Structure 1
Amino acid sequence: MTDERLFALQRRERLLDELWRHGSLRVRDMARTLEVSELTIRRDIAALAARGLLTRVHGGATLPTDLDPVRRHRPAATPFTIGMVVPSLDYYWPQIVSGARSAAVALGVQIQLRGSSYDQAEDRRQISRLISAQQVQGLLLAPNLEGEGLDEMIDWIGDLPVPAILVERQISRWTPTPRQLGWVRSDHALGLEMAVRHLHEHGHRRIGLVLSKGSPTSAHLAQGWHKACAELGLPGEFVVRESVALDVPGHREIIRGILRRCRTSRITALIVHSDPDAMSVAQYLAEQGLAIPGDMAMVSYDDEVAHLAEPAMTAIRPPKSRVGRLAVEMMVSRLRAGRRHPAQRVLVLPELILRNSSVKRAAGV
């Protein structure tokens, strides 16, 4: 194999990696990153598109969708508009929105985005705005399904005049709604299992879990925790439900109490949700002269900013971009098929990203 061919393969692997991480790429940005011409990147994209590995769009590429494979005759774009309501526009959710928009571009549909909060009243307000405008044919929703009013919220969504798919949310297996709701979300329980098993493989037999207080993800993470501990024969009682990020009042006292419990329980590794909380714990450990992973191994859950920690944090990365893409694909499939299309409920597997916070480096490395 010639060097030129080898370099082409390496570039294309980088392009595909970028696509799977973010759902889309721009020719200009990748040319700058890989230090090659834009023409070279366009040729790489054309070669990958010919193999059905991506979809070419103006100025870049997106991942191919299940509804839009490479064909001799590309179907005409479907003029659907899909409303999307997410609880945050600054953490976790931007990658989901990016994935949804990439799929929308590939499928020729429009996305109308609304930001909400973790509040049912605000969710209803934003959803109602989209419905009253009479411009959307479907909805992708991430409402607050915690606490009181859950049944009423589900019934209300089920009675909307357009179909809805939940994103990073799910309901019980059966609900008495006129239209059974579908959903697509990350398999957070399995992601937590991956973290436990990773630490177990590296010799840790006493592991602790710190869950972000009030997060809708916590219930799934706790489920994965208890399952993994039971299967591996590990003690599973060390579970703390507290938010300890740097902007949380009194976070240092909370962390001090957690570490005091760690010493008492002889905990050697912590799994922390989410990245800001994990980084806050790591910073406190460093202030106390404790080494990571020597004195305490750590794994973060989310992988939004875990790579910025010192040391860089091993993390479980939910497939956020892929969740957004699948939500749009599912909705377009449903809109094309009409009322007879069955609801789908999809789990997408997270990924373990290995860095320096969970594995001791060999001497001299």
Structure 2
Amino acid sequence: MRESAAERHDRLLALVRERGTARVSDLAGLLGVSPVTARRDVEALAARGLLDRVHGQVSWPRAQGAPSGLAGGGSGLVLGLLAPSATYYFAEVIRGAHEAAARAGARLILRISDYRPEEDRARAEGLLAAGAEGLLVAPGWRGPEDRLAYGDWPAELPVPAVLLERRAAPGTPLDGLDRVSSDHAHGVLLALRHLLELGHATPLLVARGDSPTALAVRAGYAEALAALGLEAPRAVIDSVPAETDPEGFERAVRALHEAVASGRASAALVHNDVDAIQMVQRLAELGVRVPEDLALIAYDDEVAALADIPLTAVAPPKRQVGRHATELLVERLVAGAGGGDEDEAVRRHLSLLPRLRVRASCGASRTTAV
């Protein structure tokens, strides 16, 4: 399968994180891409503040703390963060965790799993070997089968751990851990209610099925329909990344186009932002206009505002998830250091509510948030 840009970006960030500083030309060779591609990737990551770039070299940003492979960093607690990615959704989660760690005088070190759950445990052990006294863990699960196969090990860690933007199956050892996550069911409910208030019939859902967020959005759709007293107009339209499966993506576009053209639907929620932007572009080529023919809401709000027609979007509280999880972990560690019995502490499952950011794709004339 061809590597996506996001996967390549994660590899690039991991290389810089390990080395501290690297030449762009060297990164091209290590990544197996052309110098032009490496420069473009570096420019994109530097623009987002994930890298510092000076005279043909890049370095890990000073504002994000010392790279995990380097000496230095602040005194005090050392926290480890295992994330499936350092870009798109999880970039904001990591940023929130870093900000909270800095406020607590702690050092945050990072490992990226690249959505390879079979490697999560080894990467967590690497964090412990690097001195982490507690861990923030976002396993690299893609679907329920990964959770079943690789789900219990965080509960066996020898240090306090907080599950991050993931939910465990009830009754499993993992369900006994502290966790902080977005309430995606609430986010879906906000989106559907907004579309109904605009006068649309039951909205469709177009969603991926390749991540815990995507699966939570799908489950939230069924819950929202029940809460609103609605019946599903048809099955969820399965979406896939256009860059890795263009034929599958085109099938999703055609299914949505057919629903609009036949009059069965005039509104849709699309997970995620990238798919939503690309679908709007392709639908326009097929004669479907947003918002005139189709009111559309994206899910994630990473790049939705940058579309030609700014997209209304559900915005999970990504940065706050990272911040609250870090604060909870620091609380656990400080209590343990103060002589308290960490094992007797009451565990917490904290759900944070997404917001709906209203833009032009639903026919709105102004930007707001609810």
By the TM > 0.5 criterion, same fold? yes
2:288 equivalent in structure 1: 290
Matched, 1:199 2:195: yes
Q: Deviation digits for residues 220-249 of structure 1, max 9, x if unmatched?
A: 212321222223232313411221545532
> What is the CA–CA distance in structure 1 between the aligned matches of 2:324 and 2:108, rounded to whole Å?
14
Matched, 1:348 2:352: yes
1:278 equivalent in structure 2: 276
The correspondence of residues 1-365 of structure 1 with structure 2, limited to 5 A, is 79-133=76-130, 135-145=131-141, 146-148=143-145, 150-151=147-148, 153-176=150-173, 180-236=176-232, 237-245=234-242, 248-250=245-247, 251-264=249-262, 266-338=264-336, 339=342, 340-359=344-363
Amino acid paired to 1:140? L
> What is the CA–CA distance in structure 1 between the aligned matches of 2:235 and 2:265, rounded to whole Å?
9
Amino acid paired to 1:297? A
- Change beyond 3 A, Cα 1:361–1:84: closer
Contact 1:205 1:234 in 2 (8 A): no
> Helix, strand or coil for the counterpart of 2:252?
helix
> Helix, strand or coil for the counterpart of 2:132?
coil
> Helix, strand or coil for the counterpart of 1:326?
helix
Contact 1:78 1:107 in 2 (8 A): no
> What is the CA–CA distance in structure 2 between the aligned matches of 1:78 and 1:300, rounded to whole Å?
42
- Change beyond 3 A, Cα 1:207–1:244: farther
> What is the CA–CA distance in structure 1 between the aligned matches of 2:273 and 2:145, rounded to whole Å?
28
> Helix, strand or coil for the counterpart of 1:217?
helix
> What is the CA–CA distance in structure 2 between the aligned matches of 1:360 and 1:344, rounded to whole Å?
38
- The structural deviation recorded for 1:156 is 1.8
> What is the CA–CA distance in structure 1 between the aligned matches of 2:252 and 2:148, rounded to whole Å?
34
Amino acid paired to 1:190? H
For structure 1, list consecutive stretches of 5 or more residues without a partner in the other structure: 1-25, 27-57, 60-76
When normalised by structure 1's length, the TM-score is 0.73
Contact 1:246 1:280 in 2 (8 A): no
Contact 1:186 1:320 in 2 (8 A): yes
Amino acid paired to 1:119? R
Q: Could you say which structure has the larger radius of gyration?
A: 1
> What is the CA–CA distance in structure 2 between the aligned matches of 1:263 and 1:359, rounded to whole Å?
19
Corresponding residue pairs, total: 287
State which drifts further: 308-317 or 179-188: 179-188
> What is the CA–CA distance in structure 1 between the aligned matches of 2:209 and 2:241, rounded to whole Å?
9
- Change beyond 3 A, Cα 1:334–1:100: same
- Superposed CA RMSD in Å reads 2.4
Contact 1:192 1:221 in 2 (8 A): yes
For structure 2, list consecutive stretches of 5 or more residues without a partner in the other structure: 1-48, 50-61, 64-73, 337-341
> What is the CA–CA distance in structure 1 between the aligned matches of 2:123 and 2:173, rounded to whole Å?
24
- The structural deviation recorded for 1:257 is 3.0
Q: Deviation digits for residues 239-263 of structure 1, max 9, x if unmatched?
A: 1122154553222343113322444
> Helix, strand or coil for the counterpart of 1:357?
helix
State which drifts further: 219-228 or 312-321: 219-228
Contact 1:244 1:280 in 2 (8 A): no
Contact 1:210 1:239 in 2 (8 A): yes
> Helix, strand or coil for the counterpart of 2:351?
strand
> What is the CA–CA distance in structure 2 between the aligned matches of 1:239 and 1:117, rounded to whole Å?
27
Contact 2:238 2:252 in 1 (8 A): no
Amino acid paired to 1:150? R
